[in-house]
Amino acid sequence: MPNSIPFSATIVHGPDPQQLHQHIIHTYPPTQYLHFIIKPEGSSIKIAQIHQLKNQISLTPTKPRLVWIQQAHLATIPAQNALLKTIEEPPQQTLFVLTTTTYQQLLPTIISRCLLQKLTPTNLTKNPELLQFIKQIITQPPGERLATLKTIPSQREVALDWTNSLLISLQQVLFQTQQPQTLQTLAKIIQPALDLKQHLAANVNVTLALEHFLLSLPKTKNSNPKP
């Protein structure tokens, strides 16, 4: 059965391979995720490795799974095309993370289907402040929501970074919860966040895009999702 999560693949990129490795281990610990690691054999990641991966993850999972593609930019074009098909229709409870120092070498079709996270020393974990912000917003009426607009970065590139950080944080909460009500609330938050990212990337007016995001978030009486 395909994954019902609105997004299930992330490209994590940065100049330091060791930092990338530490970030993934810290963010997706093996105690919580079953790891499937793909890394170059020789000078590249080959299509046969992706086919073998598909067979491995075809079984029903017993806990959340992480497919970790290391040095993803070294995947051959056939391997990337094969991976793309799996990313587009991911199995249940399966998250794909591609780590790379040069994500621009990946196929544009893969990049377009992934969250893009630039790794810096300040974003090694989910952002509890952003999650707390969302918890407050979804309990507020429209007028109060719009009043919080001044707390969100108004420059396009900074707003995009803010949105990506929010999506990464929501993604981590999503894969760590089993509560149906929380999952439903998260899904209703994630879609407006994805729309916001798309609007910002398409040069929609930043203020209008942020206003639309705030007003599109669900209304709830409780404080889910919990960070």
**Do 18 and 110 share a domain, yes or no?**
yes
Residues 68 and 147 both lie in one domain: no
Q: How many domains does the chain contain in total?
A: 2
Q: Is residue 67 part of a domain?
A: yes
The tokens describing 79, both together, are 């391997």
Q: Do 144 and 174 fall within a single domain?
A: yes
Q: Which CATH number covers residue 20? A: 3.40.50.300
Q: Which domain holds residue 110?
A: 9-118
For residue 159, give the nearest of 217, 202, 210 by alpha carbon.
210
| pLDDT, one tens digit for every residue, the chain (227 residues) | 444 445 689 999 988 888 888 888 888 888 888 999 999 999 999 999 999 999 999 988 888 899 999 999 999 999 999 999 999 888 888 999 999 999 999 999 999 889 888 876 544 456 778 889 999 999 999 999 999 998 898 888 888 878 888 887 887 787 677 778 888 888 899 999 999 988 998 989 999 999 999 999 998 875 444 44
Q: Is there a contact between 197 and 164 (Cβ–Cβ < 8 Å)?
A: yes
Q: Are residues 160 and 100 in the same domain?
A: no
Where is the domain boundary, 118, 140, 159?
A: 118
Residue 16: what are its φ and ψ, rounded to 5°?
A: -110, 105
Residue 14 lies in a domain: yes
Per-residue DSSP letter, 12? E
